[in-house]
Amino acid sequence: MNASASDRPFPENRLDEARLDETRLNETRLSEDRLGMRARIYGSEKAVLVAVRTPDGRVNESLRELAALATTAGIPSLLEVVQNRTRPDPRYFIGKGKVAEVKAAAHELHADVVIFDDELSPAQARNLEEKMKTKVIDRAQLIMDIFAQRAATKEARLQVELAQLRYLLPRLRGWGSALTRLGGGIGTRGPGETQLELDRKKINRRIHTLERRLKKARSERALRSHKRRSGPFPLIALIGYTNSGKSTLLNRLCAADVLVEDNLFATLTTTIRRGETARGQLALFADTVGFIRNLPHHLIPAFAATLETVRDADLLLHVIDSSRPSCSDDYQSVITTLDHEVFTSDEPRPPVIDVLNKIDLIPADEIKTEAFHKPVLISARKGTNMDGLLARVRSILSQGKRAVSLILPYNMMQEVHSLSRREKLRVCGYTKEGVEVEATLPEEDLMRLLRQGGRISPSDSVPQKQV
């Protein structure tokens, strides 16, 4: 018995069902594309990595780093593909034949995403996705996604969202009339604003909102920074390439419990702890976000807190992973970032101590020190040579200070207590006029004490001696 028309399931046949499924898939992709969701990765995907080796480029270390970034994001790498070219292809970044090869490999391995080791132009990303029928992202998007996953503070989350939106804006895509909203009015308007244009307006409004919020956050951070600079303790910032051991060193120096992971970008916020440079002498140690090669320019603002901490520091400890074959290149990448993004050419810079970390992971005769300036060799994990590092720190911090004997009135005992916590100071005795101390002080502190009523002790026969 034939079923009536009302009893027939919809759609009527498999062809209609396939068309309906394809329509739904296209609508889903369209929505994701407009919202920028396809520029993200979600932790359950598998990836094929692609890089181009140019005559003047070294791709092996960069590709290993890309694989480590993918692992940090929770994405296993199934295959690495490298093409030798004199320069990237302007249309597909890689050659057309290599596009077909990567497409076949991704299909065979059931890969969900193809990750390129360089930043793709909007046109290249669109062309590659259309050819491969697979999600395509680049190194910049991968790093931004890691930041989005790991950003812990409100300001960091705002900075990452702003970076993602600025990156997404020129990369919004659509399929012509499918994104068109019909306009009202007879004979007065054309097809109307496209959905793409509306999305651009929404993104621009959100960008302006984020910029206002971040401006307020920057002013609050500037106030905290001013209080820290005017405080009694010197500020020592730990800088370096990502995963070089800065957090481990902070924990060692300050008996802290900062998160330590064997992953890139384990630290995404500046953490400040108090520690001793000598018995009774305190300092603030700041753990900062690690740098990386080819850092997306869109993410530089996300380093704002780190960059300000580096500018305000009295001393920088440049932590270097000596166990990495590319440690000298990592070192130069950090120096380049400091030169281009942190300091201006005529801006005074704090002194720097090069710290070669992880010496316990390689034989002593394989440690290369030629590329660095008088480095201190340590193992933060095992605590090797911490005394040597702190001795260098004390030596640098004492430069430009004067060793002098002073008599300070008793109403300045609070100053004596404050100075003893951050400077080399010893109480020698008590007189009718006040307490007699020997101290090693910056010139500005000495002048301030003299203005407040202190005076140089007659027993100090060489009041101008330098240390």
Whole-angstrom distance, CA of residue 240 vs CA of residue 245: 9
> Same CATH topology for 40-150 and 401-456?
no
Residue 377's pLDDT band (cuts 50, 70, 90): very high
Each domain of the chain, given as residue ranges in start order, spans 40-150, 151-175+192-231, 232-397, 401-456
Is pLDDT above 50 for 3?
Answer: no
Whole-angstrom distance, CA of residue 433 vs CA of residue 76: 73
Q: Hey, what amino acid is at 213?
A: R
Exposure of 189 by Cβ count < 10 A (0-12 exposed, 13-18 middle, 19+ buried)?
exposed
For residue 466, what pLDDT is reported? 42
Higher per-residue pLDDT: 304 or 133: 133
pLDDT over 70, % of the chain: 75
pLDDT tens, 138-161?
Answer: 888 888 888 777 776 777 788 888
Helix locations, 187-254, DSSP H: 195-229, 246-254
**What angle, rounded to 10 degrees, do the helices at 386-397 and 246-254 form?**
80
- For residue 235, which phi and psi values (nearest 5 degrees)? -105, 125
Number of residues that this document lists for the chain:
467
For residue 358, what pLDDT is reported? 93
Q: What is the mean pLDDT of the chain?
A: 77
DSSP state of 276: E
| Coil/strand/helix, residue 377 | strand
Structure-token match 């419990």, residue found? 257
Architecture of domain 232-397: 3-Layer(aba) Sandwich (3.40)
pLDDT tens, 240-272?
Answer: 988 888 989 999 999 877 666 666 666 666 788
Is pLDDT above 90 for 355?
Answer: yes
For residue 181, what pLDDT is reported? 46
Q: Average pLDDT for residues 225-252, to the nearest whole number?
A: 81
CATH fold for domain 401-456: Alpha-Beta Plaits (3.30.70)
Q: Average pLDDT for residues 29-45, to the nearest whole number?
A: 51
For residue 258, what pLDDT is reported? 67
Architecture of domain 40-150: 3-Layer(aba) Sandwich (3.40)
Helix locations, 255-385, DSSP H: 304-312, 327-337
Of 121, 125, 119, nearest in space to 143 by CA: 119
For residue 183, what pLDDT is reported? 47
Whole-angstrom distance, CA of residue 319 vs CA of residue 372: 11
